[in-house]
Amino acid sequence: MPRTVSRRRATPSPEGVGPLLQDPPELVSRSGVLRATIVVERRKVQVGDRQLYATTYNGAYMPPTLRVRPGDRIDLTMTNKTDKYTNLHTHGLVVSPRAPADDIFISIKYGHSYHYAYQLPRDHPTGTYWYHSHADMLSAAQVAGGESGIVVDGLNRHLPPSLRHITEHTIALKDFQVEGDAIKTHPLSIGAPTNRTVNGQHNPVIRIRPGETQLWRLANIGANIYYKLHLPGTRFHVIAQDGVPVRRIHTEDTLLIPAAARFDVLVQGGAPGTARLETLPYNTGPAGNQFPRADLATVITGGTPMRRATIPSRFAPQEDLSRATISARKTMVYTENAAGTVFYINGRTFDANRTDFTSTLGTVEAWTIRNDSDEDHSFHLHTDHFQLMSTNGKAEDLSHSVYDTVNIPRRGSIVIRVHFTHFTGRTVLHCHILNHEDMGMMAVLDILPPRTRPRQMSGS
């Protein structure tokens, strides 16, 4: 069995502001293997300040973090004890899309179990990933209901020796709406009032000493909403995006985090005092939603000061596709109906039995993704990361431009390059606003071995 690292129970802060931040328990790989069991069931659990029915992993709204390293194997058994079919997606991991790995086309029915096996490449990027339901037409409801958790691996090896043993915190952002004594899962209105939590807690306290450097894993693992993170008096030194370490560390006052995106950041304590980790107002457009400002956590700086570390500028090697030979170019167009109830990619809604795009293993392609709607959407690609080349025609800084999920501005476009590196098989790309994915904004990509004719699927 994997080694389980327990975290302390949430306890009141000495300052009386709120509970101390509780990091999720961890299941840690041993001798290159992580064996884990995930049980999906509906239970009444602590969610924020309330006891509510939720769809839980292992009986918790904030389930165990899976801690693995490049080259590890994950053997995971999922058992479904709910009345809806479900499945599992290891978001951002570069693993095979074929069964029994990251095959999102399967359905695990009530009372059934499925044995997943994932082999991580030895050159797998180190950072923060997550796992969640990807059940067709049910992903928004199940993720909103609680079905999401964190996966991490050895990011610290890229830090200078003086920073390799600093305090780490998971800052997993989940939100919930309430219906009676349960988390509301259907119908979900993206713009409805919601309750934002950090690791399932309401406004927890994060302690840091003056001058201390901490590693925070910021992850939006909710179904639909955006976060625009800000911590007054503190800047975020970004060392990884969507699990991929950056070549050069960049420093930001605010971070826009669409659903599913992650940033690993270094933060440093300032003068003694109290500040609010907040999400600022964000408007996704006239056809979209307005998310108000909200407090997420209370950051208390105090205790014995520490010598402030120097943040390095260079960080980790990263593939740059800017001079790669382009084997093919593709265009994808996001649209939606006037009512905002049906969403399309290239004029078609998702059909698991249809192949929309084919690509070839070992090649690099250039894709243009255009958002022809009046609201922001996001773009997520399974199986491989991509390099963001430009947004609305403006070139990106290529020293930190690798992602698996990015925002596409309304009436805007992005250009990306994808290197198909390790795995073949049928996979998907989609908007990661899960309401939009469930209502059609997803397409099938078949990654083929070299010199292979495209497979013929019904409707293709």
DSSP one-letter string for 424-441: -EEEEEE-SSHHHHHTT-
Q: Closest by alpha carbon to 380, among 225, 260, 240? A: 260
Q: Per residue in 136-186, pLDDT tens?
A: 999 999 999 999 999 987 788 899 999 999 999 999 999 999 999 999 999
Burial of 32 from C-beta contacts in 10 A (0-12 / 13-18 / 19+): exposed
**Amino acid present at 328:** A
Beta strand pairing status for 326-336 and 343-345?
Answer: antiparallel
Cis peptide before 100 (omega within 30 of 0): yes
Is a pLDDT exceeding 90 seen at residue 460? no
pLDDT of residue 16: 54
Q: Closest by alpha carbon to 90, among 56, 128, 54, 58? A: 128
% pLDDT > 90, the chain:
93
Token representation of residue 55:
């769809």
Q: What is the dihedral of CA 208, 211, 213, 217, to 10 degrees?
A: 50
Paired strand residues for 286 = none
Q: Per residue in 45-101, pLDDT tens?
A: 999 999 999 999 999 999 999 999 999 999 999 999 999 999 999 999 999 999 999
This prediction has a pTM of: 0.94
Is a pLDDT exceeding 60 seen at residue 11? no
Radius of gyration of the chain (CA): 21
Token representation of residue 306:
């520490």
Distance from C-alpha of 379 to C-alpha of 258, rounded to nearest angstrom: 10
Burial of 119 from C-beta contacts in 10 A (0-12 / 13-18 / 19+): middle
Place of tokens 């908007």: 431
∠ CA 400-401-404 to the nearest 5 degrees? Answer: 125
Determine contact, residues 46/86, Cβ cutoff 8 Å: no
pLDDT of residue 228: 98
Q: Per residue in 22-40, pLDDT tens?
A: 999 999 999 999 999 999 9
pLDDT of residue 458: 45
Distance from C-alpha of 418 to C-alpha of 125, rounded to nearest angstrom: 15
Distance from C-alpha of 349 to C-alpha of 451, rounded to nearest angstrom: 29
More confident residue, 5 or 350: 350
Q: Per residue in 399-423, pLDDT tens?
A: 999 999 999 999 999 999 999 999 9
* Whole-number average pLDDT of the chain: 94
Determine contact, residues 77/115, Cβ cutoff 8 Å: yes
Place of tokens 């979209």: 288
